Amino acid sequence: MKVIKNKKIYTGEKVIFDGYIRFNRQIAEIGDMESFVAQKDDVEEAAEGDILIPGFIDIHSHGGYGLDNMDASPEEIHEMVHKMAKNEGITSYFCTTMTQTYEKIEASLKNIADAAKKTSIIQGIHVEGPFVSKEFKGAQDPAYIKKPDEKVLDKWNKISGGLIRIVTYAPEEAEPEFEEWCKSQNIVLSVGHSNALYEQLLKSKASHVTHLYNAQRGLKHREPGVTGFGLMTPGVKTELICDGIHIVPEMVKLAYEVRGCDGIELITDSMRAKGLPEGISELGGQKVYVKDHTARLEDGTIAGSVLSFIQAFKNVMEFTGASAEEAVKMGSVNQAEEFGLNQKGILAKGKDADILVLDREYSLLKTISMGTVIKSG
């Protein structure tokens, strides 16, 4: 049995100031060093850092390290998610698709499903588009935007092996049957790339907001819009791209002050250029220019991010004054709770041993996924 000792542990439920954790694939024991009793089969896991936290859960990411979920092979997706684990601390990942032809989306879903058979890191799929609004298309190609269709999504869910956990959609474009079908399949309805009015959203079944502030009807003094819905509606979870580019730090702090750490889920919304030198890249079949840590289409539209999750974790504390305990909720706990990832999100007996080792500056030193150190992509 592996053991890490004498660490400050943010479990996701409490803070253990001098603790230990004993694990193989799952956590067998966790507690204060005062209660630690050595066992003859203990093997101490080398861990130079001072802090342990649960592995991150990224529910919205298109790719990174030169690869994209839309066109990567199963082997490449497997390679990509392991690089994300090693370099960023992501131990649970929702492969995110883009607005494209149905044929390309279906090919992507099949490749993701095949990749998921080979790694426990892939925990789901986020379908972002094509069921969105052309008014707030963002980097989604308007040529392929379609009206929400539950029959199409049903077909896609079967192709994916039931991996679809969340769909970004424009509620103002959807019929009640679409929402009802999603709810019946436990697929989270997330309003995004939407021009919906606040009153429309209150009548919808949306319970989540895709990248709050970005590509949506904004908050105005006479119309709260999608952003107001995300900020003010009890029980609604909001995604934040915490890079200081998609959202300036002051607006990140506003979301934190209004919603608190329980209502926010950090995401990267990263694209294939993450982890690569700056220059020309691609997203959803469109050329992207990456300069000064920002990815843009030719017309200047921001196109995904090159944000790492560990940087998002650091940024949310810097931008808002949130504690590390609160940042753990925004990086792991809330996602696990919302999506029913019952083995993930916290460090506790019986949970999967998804553990990050950090130094005092919250830099990532080691990623442990299902009890195994991730050494390479």
Between CA 181 and CA 175 the distance in angstroms is 10
Catalytic: which of 149, 269, 352, 354? 269
Stretches in the chain below the pLDDT threshold 70: 376-377
Between CA 67 and CA 274 the distance in angstroms is 9
| 245 in a structural domain | yes
pLDDT for the residue 376: 58
Tokens matching residue 188: 């989270």
Distances in Å between the alpha carbon of 191 and those of 100, 173, 200, 208? 19, 11, 11, 6
pLDDT for the residue 287: 86
pLDDT for the residue 140: 87
Could you tell me if 139 and 187 lie in one domain? yes
CB count within 10 Å of CB 6 equals 11
User: What 3-state class would DSSP assign to 302?
Assistant: strand
Could you tell me if 166 and 303 lie in one domain? yes
Domain with 332 in it = 56-338
Q: Tell me, what DSSP letter sits at residue 352?
A: B
pLDDT for the residue 226: 98
Could you tell me if 327 and 363 lie in one domain? no
Domain count, the chain: 2
Could you tell me if 256 and 364 lie in one domain? no
pLDDT for the residue 297: 87
Could you tell me if 16 and 116 lie in one domain? no
Could you tell me if 6 and 46 lie in one domain? yes
In this structure, what CATH number is given to the domain that contains residue 356?
A: 2.30.40.10
**The 3-state secondary structure of 241-299, one letter per residue:** ECCCCCCCHHHHHHHHHHHCHHHEEEECCECCCCCCCCEEEEECCEEEEEECCEEEECC
Cβ-contact 62, 304 below 8 angstroms: yes
| 343 in a structural domain | no
Nearest to 166 by CA among 148, 189, 150: 189
32 catalytic, yes or no? no
The position carrying tokens 């553990």 is 355
Could you tell me if 67 and 10 lie in one domain? no
Could you tell me if 145 and 230 lie in one domain? yes
Distances in Å between the alpha carbon of 173 and those of 42, 119, 125, 185, 187? 57, 36, 22, 20, 18
Cβ-contact 33, 342 below 8 angstroms: no
| 192 in a structural domain | yes
Could you tell me if 137 and 230 lie in one domain? yes
Could you tell me if 45 and 161 lie in one domain? no
